[in-house]
Amino acid sequence: MKPALIRLQINHRTVEVVAGSSVAAAIAAAQSSAVFRRSITGQPRAAFCGMGACFECRVRIDGTGQQRACMVPVREGMQVICDE
């Protein structure tokens, strides 16, 4: 049995991921270099702890900024923007 797939957009590009995945997993699977955001000094940041403690994976989801990608499950039609 094939797993159910969800379509969402990451940086305006449509991707399909397995239902139940986190946004962080979707970003990592969709991008060759998974840069989620940049620090105030310009350093690239990505998911680190994967459990919501470090806040390194913050992205904009459906227009709302500062969302921890590792804590949010994907939904059909979701719009995700990584601040690269």
Residues 42-83 pLDDT 10s? 999 988 998 999 999 999 999 999 999 999 999 999 999 997
* CATH number for 12: 3.10.20.30
Residues 9-50 pLDDT 10s? 999 999 999 999 999 999 998 876 778 898 999 999 988 998
Cα–Cα distance, 48 to 24 (Å, whole number): 10
Count of domains observed in the chain: 1
Which of 77, 79, 52, 51 shows the shortest CA–CA distance to 65?
Answer: 79
Residue 68: give the domain boundaries: 5-81
SS3 50: coil
- For the entire predicted model, the pTM comes to 0.90
Could you tell me if 61 and 72 are in contact, meaning their C-beta atoms sit under 8 angstroms apart? yes
